[in-house]
Amino acid sequence: MKILVVCGNGLGSSLIMEMNIKEILQKLQIQAEVNHEDFSSASSSQADIFIAAKDMALHLQEMDKSPVLALTNIFDKAEIEKKLLPLINR
Amino acid sequence: MLSDYLPLERITVLSSLPNWKEAIDVSVQPLVDASIVNTGYAKAIKSSIEALGPYCVIAPGIAMPHARLESGANAIGASLLLLKKGVCFGGNNDPVYIVMTFSATDKTSHIQLMQSLALFLSNESKALRKCESPEAISALIKDY
C-alpha cells in the first residue's frame, strides 16, 4: 500500500505528518510505504491514499486525486488514526 | 534541543497585528537579523500563501510558515511569534495565535528540528498561548 503525504513545499508539515503516520502504522502493525512530496510533484504522483492538511487537501481533490484524507490538526494522532483506518480497510 | 534552533531573541509576543502578511513579516524578521534567511524569504512565503491559500495553518490556531529551499534559506532555524489576539489567514483553522516560522537548507537535515517542533506544539500549545513574555515561552521550550 502506498501512502503519499503532501504539503506546500514538501519539507515542513508533510515531514511531521509522515512521522505521525508511520508511528500509527507501526502501532497498528500495518505495512505501508509512506512518502512525502510537495504539491507540484504530487500532481503527477500515484498513491493508494493521499494525506494532507485541510487547505492542501482541497487542492488535491480539485486535481481529482482520490482518496484524500484531510487533516484539521497534523499533530493530532487520534484524528489521523480515526480517519486513516477506514481508508486502509476499504 | 529546540532552544538551539529557537533562542530567546527569536521569540516575540505581541498583542495583535492587523493582518496575516504583517504576521509573516514580523515572524521572519528575527531570522533575517540572524542571517538564517535572506530578505526575500518573507516575500516567498507570502506569494505561496496567495497562490495556494493558507496551507501553512496546519492545526487550530497554529501556522508553520516556511518557503522552498531556493527562496533564501541559509541555515536551519526557527522563530516564534505569539499573537494574543490572533490573526486571520482565511482558512478553517483561524484565528492564528502561534506563528512558528522555520527555515531548512535541504530536504532532510532539519528532521530533528521538525520532531522537536512537532512534539512541542503538540504538547504545549495551550500553555504557550497563556505566556505573556518571550522569557515565559523560553522556559516552556527548555525541555524539548
* pLDDT per position as a tens digit, B36-61: 999 999 999 999 999 999 999 999 99
Cell numbers for B118, please give them.
Answer: 512537532
Residue B59 is classified by DSSP as E
Given this model, what pLDDT does residue A68 score? Answer: 96
Question: What residues does A53 pair with on adjacent strands?
Answer: A71
Which candidate in A3, A5, A7, A60 is catalytic?
A7
B99: helix, strand or coil: strand
Nearest to A16 among B57, B68, B114 (CB): B114
Neighbour-count burial of A29, counting CB atoms closer than 10 A to its CB (0-12 exposed, 13-18 middle, 19+ buried): exposed
Is A7 in the active site? yes
How far apart are the CA of A81 and the nearest CA of chain B, in angstroms?
16
What per-residue confidence (pLDDT) applies to B81? 98
Query: To probe the interface with A, which of B55, B62, B68, B122 has the most A CB atoms within 10 Å?
Result: B55
Share of chain B above pLDDT 70, in %: 100
CB B47 within 8 A of CB B83: no
Inspect the interface and report whether the beta carbons of A9 and B48 lie closer than 8 Å: yes
Query: Which of B64, B66, B76, B97 is flagged as catalytic?
Result: B66
Distance, CA of B27 to CA of B20 (rounded, Å): 10
- Interval A17-33: pLDDT, tens: 999 999 999 999 999 99
At A90, the pLDDT band (50, 70, 90 cuts) reads confident
Residue-level pLDDT at B13: 98
Is the predicted pLDDT of residue B69 greater than 90, yes or no?
Answer: no
Round the average pLDDT of chain A to a whole number and report it: 93
The stretch B78-98 carries a mean pLDDT of 97
User: Which residues of chain B neighbour A55 with C-beta distances below 8 Å?
Assistant: 52-55, 57, 91-92
Give the model confidence (pLDDT) of A59-68 as tens digits.
999 999 999 9
Residue A78, all three cell numbers: 487520534
Which residues lie closer than 8 Å to B73 by C-beta, 6 or more apart?
B36, B37, B41, B67, B103, B104, B105
Given phi > 0 = left and psi -120 to 50 = alpha, else beta, which region is B53? Answer: left
**Per-residue pLDDT at B47:** 96
Confidence of residue B97 (pLDDT cuts 50, 70, 90): very high
Which one-letter DSSP state was computed for residue B42? H
A54 touches chain B (CB under 8 A): yes
In this predicted structure, what is the pLDDT of residue A8?
87
State percent of chain A over pLDDT 70: 100
**Closest-CA residue to B59 (of B87, B97, B30):** B97
Q: Please tell me the distance from the alpha carbon of residue A28 to that of residue A61, in angstroms, as a whole number.
A: 27
* Prediction ipTM score: 0.92
Whole-angstrom Cα distance, residue B106 to residue B98? 25
Helices A54-62 & B41-52 angle (0-180, nearest 10): 60
Smallest CA-to-CA distance from A21 within A5, A7, A9, A38 is with A5
B54: nearest CA partner in chain A: A55
What is the predicted pLDDT for the residue at B55? 94
Burial class (CB in 10 A: 0-12, 13-18, 19+), A35: middle
